[in-house]
Every structure is written in structure tokens, then in C-alpha cells.
A and B are shown apart, each in its own frame.
Chain A
Amino acid sequence: MNFFQIVSAAMPQLIKGAQLTVWYSIASIILATVLGLAFALLKLSRFAILRRIGEIYVHIFRGLPLLVEIFYIYFAIPMILPMHKWFDPYFTPIAGIIALALNEGAYITEIIRAGILAVDRGQSEAALSIGMTGPQTMRFIILPQAFKRMVPPLVNQFIQTIKDTSLLSAISVTELTRSGQIIISTNFASLQIWTAIAAVYLIIILLLTALSGYLERRWQIDKR
């Protein structure tokens, strides 16, 4: 069998794996962004205790290897909390998505915080001066401006998230990487299959990059 025959025979299974990779990525990116926004606002709070909570979150989840976090949530926590029973049979995807989201969320916290801090103080002063409350100022004035600036680093982090889903193969999620490993264990065609896997990852990330390029143009990021 030549290269193309091997790859096309494996394609249906690889595409299934790629679909899982995409779904895991989307779910954990959404959850990570929610976490990132929440903890960024905590870190910017005027209350020391809330700031401290945000700092601890970032410190822990940015400070540990992602694989350790995945194992901790998947293997360690069920030893004291029978989560795997509560969420059966969905525990594996839930644990995987939560582990990824907690980790990426720590990085996104810092991206969002930096984006908010980069908005000129005069903007919030002007908003407060027309009688807006703090939350209104954040929502209508600061975040829309901060968000435009956050797009490039956020896309970076989203790409990282997509690639990091490959670590979920370690808890037997049959995403793209794990699908490939299974195929190779039967046909031993390492070169061909890993090449195909690499190509699929690059295509997924190319699509995301194209989407972000489109959004940047639409929001005219470099105009301001």
C-alpha cells in the first residue's frame, strides 16, 4: 500500500477524532473564556480578598503542568469525591474539558486583565463623569475597547488550547491524537499516520487563524 492508500483508509477514523478535537476545543475555549473574564475581574477588584482569590487561581492553574491537572481531576479527585459516578458515563469528557478550561482560563485571565488595564484611564473617568456606575463603565466602555486589543493574544491562547486537547489522549479520549495511536497500533504505519495527524491539526488551526483574521479586519483593530 502506498502513502495515500494508507492515509485514506485511516481517514474516516481520523476525521472522527478531529471532530472530537474540535468539540473539546470549542467547549473548553468557551469555558476558559468565561473563567478568564471572571477571574480577571476578581483580580481587578478593589477588595483585597477577591484579588487574592484571582491570584491563587492563576498561580495554581498556570503553575502546574497541564497533564498533571488532567490526571489530578480525572484520577485523584474521584478518590475523595465520587464524581466519576455522578457524571457517569460522561465523566471523561467533563473531566477533560474542565481540566483544559481551568488551565487555559488562567492564561486568559492575564490576557483579559492586561487588555482592561491597557484602556486609558481617561475612558473610565469620562464614563463615570456622565453618571455611569462601575459595572456600566466596564460593560459599555472598557470591555468593548479592551476586547479588540485582546483578540490577537486570545487567538494565540485558543490555538494553544486546540493543541493541548492532544493531552486528553492520556485519559483515553479518542480525539485526533489518540485515534491516530489506535490506528498505528494495528497498521504500524507511523510515518504516514503521524503525517496525516499533523496535517489535520494544521488545517484546524489554519481555519481558526483565518477566522480571527476576518474578525480583526471587521473590527478594524489596527485603526485604533
Chain B
Amino acid sequence: MSQDWPLWEVFIRTKGGLSHRHVGSVHAPDGEMALRHARDTYTRRLEGVSLWIARSSDIVASDPDQAGALFEPAADKIYRHPTFYDIPDVVRHI
């Protein structure tokens, strides 16, 4: 059984002005080949104007089990949202 090539994550910018978005991954021996494979695999129908390729092993991800501790503290800080503040209707443009 042969060895797999390294895995690369593929990101596409669908059109100018939008950010690159993850769409999937490809195996390839190097970045340039990964780019070619990504082009063939993920952009057969004008899906984008730009591709980013990143080695999957270079991505550092948060632990889903820690999601509570990581993100919960934001939940009780509702004063970060504009609707938290009561402003009379007569006051305009604010």
C-alpha cells in the first residue's frame, strides 16, 4: 500500500471583495501541485477568482470540548451590542 501525499486545505475567493472560504482539501506532494489539484477539483464551474492552499498540519484548531469556556464569556456581555442601550425615539440619527 502506497503512502498518502500530505493533505492541503483549499480556500476559494468566490469574487473580488469577498474573503477566501474553506471548501475542502486535496492531497499533493507540494503546494504548487496542490494548487493545480484544487483548481481541477473545486473550480470546474467558475467557483472563484482566487485560491489559497495551506498545509492541513499547519492549521491550529480550537478544541470543541473547550468551546464553552472559550466562547461563553461573550454571551453575558450584551452591552457590546447597540440594542442594549435605551435611547428615546425623539432622539434621531443615533
Are A and B part of the same complex? no
